[in-house]
Amino acid sequence: MEKLVSIIVPVYNAEDNIKRCLESLINQTYENIEIITVNDGSKDNSLQIIQDIALSDNRVKVFDKSNGGVSSARNLGIKNAGGKYLMFVDADDLITSDAVENCINSVSDFDAVQFLMNSVYSDGSVGLYTNIYNDYNDGELDLNKVINLLLSGQVSCGSCTYLYKTDIIKNKNLLFDEELDYGEDFLFVLNYMLNIDSITLIAKPLYQYCETETSLTRGIDNMIRNLKKFPLLRNKVLHILGGNDEYINLYNMQISRKLIIYYSNLAKMLNRKEFKKTIYDLNKTLNTMLKEFDLNKFGKGAKLFIYLNLNNQLNLLYLYMRAINH
């Protein structure tokens, strides 16, 4: 008998795209699926659209809840999932018609299947999402290497590019952290990888990440909000890493790279005075975290970046970040 696959779709104000998303799931070549839609307090017509679709396909299940964020929506989906395997698809996105079939054909004795992702732009063009696995072949991956790549930020940490075993998620209580609204995907995927024994790769893009105006917009306020969340996310990551120094150093280096990217973007968007004020305020939150980094593990560029921040050398930091942009 074919194994049931649960596909969880959190829905919030997605009336423009949810029908397209659900059609990509309904039309899967592998038919033994349940599509768990969780309406997270949408204020538009999303709920009515998914209810109408559910009337024509009994594989579509509809759950309606007050707004609590994408993590709470996914968690409700997990709790109601009846499949042997589980996937996540966001309401703006699509999967290829053979995505589930490919995963089922590959999973065998593995605890997870990872696959690649395309970015689909508003003009219809498609680009392969940057991923270190682009040149890999199908087949088993070294799990420890996967964890290292996740921690160092070299592969996509999105929860939607994996097929999971539902019993592992439920038995280990691997839910999304509802306290986070930044990095929750990374924390969930990392936690899952730390609780399994094997993973295999499908080296082709089965997931279609659709770039919308929202996803393409990276405003200053949004960057600052995300930066302020780094210490909380890091504390939660360190908790599940359990004192593994090798893993912790890899993750600290990922953070430093992300901070440099954020700061260089801010230096490009702000004048010197605005940049200095913004970073001075941010460092009240971030410098306690930076003091915990073992700088002996860092390259010269990261060491300089951290030194300038810890010593509030913001004029030099601004010039350094501007230089990176050229």
Low-confidence ranges of the chain (pLDDT < 50): 215-217
pLDDT (0 to 100) of residue 156: 73
- Polymer length of the chain: 326
Q: What are phi and psi of 27, to 5 degrees?
A: -90, 20
CA 264-269-275 angle, 5° bins: 70
pLDDT (0 to 100) of residue 218: 57
Segment holding 36, helix H or strand E: strand 33-40
pLDDT (0 to 100) of residue 220: 87
Which residues have C-beta within 8 Å of that of residue 246, sequence separation ≥ 6? none
CA 198-200-203 angle, 5° bins: 160
Is pTM, for the whole model, over 0.85?
A: yes
Tokens read off for 112: 């997870």
pLDDT (0 to 100) of residue 35: 98
